[in-house]
Amino acid sequence: MQSSTGRPPATRTGRPRSAAADTAILAATREALVELGWSGLTLGDVASRAGVAKTTLYRRWAGKNELVVDAVAELFDALELPDRGSLAADIEDVVLQLAVLLSRPEARCGLMAVVAESTLDEALRERIRTSIVQRQKRLVHTGRVRAQRRGELPPDPDPAEAARTVDLTFDMVAGAVLHRTLVSGRPADEEWVHDLTRVLLTGLTTPGPTP
């Protein structure tokens, strides 16, 4: 749970916080996002959906932004990278998963809205990075390691170079899906995923003139 801010003192006195409340609140947040969207989402409404008082909500999160980041982060944590046998298949699989995820309104509008808010809020930007972006780079990393074991990719020349490639790959995959589904507003169907995978694979496996 990302809502815990610091180290609680070893001996805690007083009534402890309800663990069930956190779960209920995050679920209610996603539910409200689906029905009302970002601007229609009301903390009072979330509270009553979760069967919780507004104050309980404010005791745990600083505001709408932080709450939605946590609610959306849980969605992204559900992404997986099963071994499909080849790098191409693995890429297609994760791209499709991402496309499915971004077709869900709570993911779409939750993510875009907090990203929009983060443009003037460095703390929020950092929270998004650690709660969502960094956690999902594990998918790219896993895929690369697997492909290297299979011999589809050469071993990493050096760690810095590898990190750059992971970052670039992640931005290209996630960015393409995101732009396709949200900005262009067209479906990331199988044909499109296939085309994207082909371009990506070719571009990433063909050795470039980068010295």
How many residues touch DNA under the rule CB under 7 A: the total is 28
Q: How far is the CB of 206 from its own copies (least distance, A)?
A: 5
Residues near 172 by beta carbon (within 8 Å), at least 6 away in sequence: 200
Geometric angle at alpha carbon 188, from 184 and 194, rounded to 5° = 125
What is the Cα–Cα distance from 194 to 76, expressed in whole angstroms?
Answer: 22
List the one residue from 2, 3, 37, 162 that touches its own copies (CB under 8 A). Answer: 37
CB atoms under 10 Å from CB of 31, counted, come to 16
d(Cα 77, Cα 72) in Å, to the nearest integer?
A: 9
Residue with smaller CB distance to DNA, 5 or 210:
5
Instruction: Considering only the stretches 16-24, 32-40, 44-52, 72-80, report the one whose residues sit in contact with its own copies under the rule CB under 8 A.
Output: 32-40
- Classify residue 17 by its DSSP letter: P
Q: Would you tell me the crossing angle of helices 64-76 and 105-117 to the nearest 10 degrees? A: 130
Candidate residues 51, 82, 154, 187; the one interacting with DNA per rule CB under 7 A: 51
**Stretch 128-187 residues interacting with its own copies (CB under 8 A):** 128-129, 132-133, 164, 167-168, 170-172, 174-180, 182-186
Let me know: does 151 contact 93? Beta carbons within 8 Å.
no
d(CA 201, CA 211): 20
Q: Which does 13 bind (CB under 5 to 8 A by kind): its own copies, DNA, none?
A: DNA
Q: Considering beta carbons, is residue 13 or 202 the nearer one to DNA?
A: 13
For residues 109 and 71, the answer to whether their CB atoms sit within 8 Å is: no
Binds 41: which of its own copies, DNA, none (CB < 5-8 Å by kind): DNA
Work out what residue 97 binds among DNA, its own copies, none; the CB cut-off runs from 5 to 8 Å by kind: none
Rg, C-alpha atoms of the chain: 20
**Assigned token pair, 41:** 């989402």
**Interface contacts to its own copies, rule CB under 8 A:** 36-40, 105, 108-109, 111-113, 115-121, 125-126, 128-129, 132-133, 164, 167-168, 170-172, 174-180, 182-186, 192, 194-196, 198-204, 206, 208-210
**Interface contacts to DNA, rule CB under 7 A:** 2-3, 8, 11-18, 21, 41-45, 51-56, 58-60, 63-64
